[in-house]
Every structure is written in C-alpha cells, then in structure tokens.
A and B are shown apart, each in its own frame.
Chain A
C-alpha cells in the first residue's frame, strides 16, 4: 500500500461550492505538501504544512494536518471552474530527507 492516498479519487461540484480532499499516510513525516496538476501538465506547489502545524491558509485554500491520525485535508472554498485539476498530497519523510512521496491524487471537476 502507498504512503499517501487521497480520498476521494474523483470529485465533481458546482462553482461556488467548497471542495474537500483528504490524504492519509503511513509513516512519520517532516512536512506534507499539496500540489495541483492541470491535465497533461506539470505539478504546481500549493501549500506546505509542517509536522508541528495543525492548520494553514493560503487564499481560498485551507489545509489541516492531524499527525495522530496521519491525515491531512485540503479545502478549496468558493470553487471556480478554473480549479478543475488533479490535486496531490506529498509527504516529506522524517527518516529520508531526499524523498517526497506523492499519492495518486484526487481529480476535481468544477462545473460552471
């Protein structure tokens, strides 16, 4: 099984609604990051949360981290059609600083 797994695998919502994506991981981490990927393009970094932080905000993004449950969530508020993309969580492992382990992603579709 994988270090990072996102849930749900796919999410469809209307513009203006909020979108919540979850990520679970298995081993101890230094930090957890969220990335976005438009279809067929490279990944773009959205936000990083360190293992000693519980919540972080960036514009319409809100990320939470619960290290006791080994889980994180990404909330996108007031979604727009332009938010349509795949979203990945990536964990920086505390025992191997050269690896950033990505999950399989959540595909978000926002309908106008």
Chain B
C-alpha cells in the first residue's frame, strides 16, 4: 500500500467511448503526475500538477484530458482513443514539485485496453 490509489485497475474501452481514470493520494502531497508505460518503452511523463495547477504537459494528444479538482485527486479523462493508447497508466505523487531530493510514490496503475 503506497498511499496512492488508482481505479479502475483494468479498463477495456472502444475507440468511441468516453471513460475516466481516477487517482487519489492519502499522503498529503502537493504534486501529482500521470505517467504512461508501454511495452519496451521508458515511462512517459504525461502531466504534472502542483497545488491543483497544471505545470507540465508533455505534448500529450488532446484525447487525454487531465483534471485535478484538489490536491488529493487526479483524473484522466479519455475519449476517442486509439489502439496504440493501450498501456499501463500510472498515477504518482510527491511532497512538492520534483525539487532535488523528492521521490515519487506510484499507484498500482490502470491497465487500459482500447479495442
């Protein structure tokens, strides 16, 4: 138990569906992240939120839409995805933005399959 909870753990969706991934952290952290992990590729940082403000967006397609209503919750809204978007989506949090010495706490991930 890392203190970062992701739901659902598994999601299968069609290319025309709209779904959302949810992340909740119980660590009192101020920064939250979405990462994408595809087979044989490095973890890709998608979004960074600090104190509910988006501070980083690594050129992610608009079919991925993040939402951070408060410092404990983070959503990733999905619509009109492509099969190549199938991956493990990892939420993470850290005490502050990644200043020297901060570590990241990851959730267990949400396995997404787009059919």
Using a CB–CB cutoff of 8 Å, the interface residues on chain A facing chain B are 2, 4, 30-31, 33, 35, 40-45, 48, 50, 88, 90, 92, 97-104
Residue-by-residue, is B64-100 near A (CB-CB < 8 Å gives 1, otherwise 0)?
A: 0000000000000000000000001010100001111
Q: How large is the interface on B (under 10, 10 to 19, 20 to 34, 35 or more residues)?
A: 20 to 34
Q: Are B101 and A42 in contact (CB under 8 A)?
A: no
Contacts of B17 in A (CB 8 A): none
Please report the C-alpha to C-alpha distance between residue A30 and residue B97 in the assembled complex, in whole angstroms. Answer: 14
B interface, by DSSP: helix, strand, loop or mixed? Answer: loop
Q: Are A30 and B103 in contact (CB under 8 A)?
A: no
Main secondary structure of the interface of A (DSSP, over half): strand
**In chain A, what residue has the closest Cβ to B56?**
A98
A30 — which chain B residues lie within 8 A by C-beta? Answer: 100-101
The verdict on B34 contacting chain A, using a C-beta distance below 8 Å, is: no
Q: What residues make up the interface of B, taking CB atoms closer than 8 Å to A? A: 2, 4, 6, 40-43, 45, 48, 50, 55-56, 88, 90, 92, 97-109, 111
Q: Please determine whether B42 and A103 come into contact, CB atoms closer than 8 angstroms.
A: yes
Whether A4 contacts B104 in the complex (CB less than 8 A), given A42-B90, A92-B98, comes out as no
Additional 13 contacts, C-beta under 8 A, given A90-B104, A99-B98:
A30-B100, A33-B103, A41-B108, A42-B92, A42-B106, A42-B109, A50-B101, A97-B99, A99-B56, A100-B45, A100-B104, A104-B40, A104-B42
Measured CB to CB, the closest approach of chain A to B96, in angstroms, equals 9
Q: How far is the CB of B98 from chain A (nearest CB, A)?
A: 5
Q: Are A104 and B41 in contact (CB under 8 A)?
A: yes
* B107 CB contacts on chain A under 8 angstroms: 42
Q: Which residues of B contact A103 (CB under 8 A)?
A: 42
Query: Are B88 and A40 within 8 A (Cβ)?
Result: yes
A43 pairs with B106, CB closer than 8 A? yes
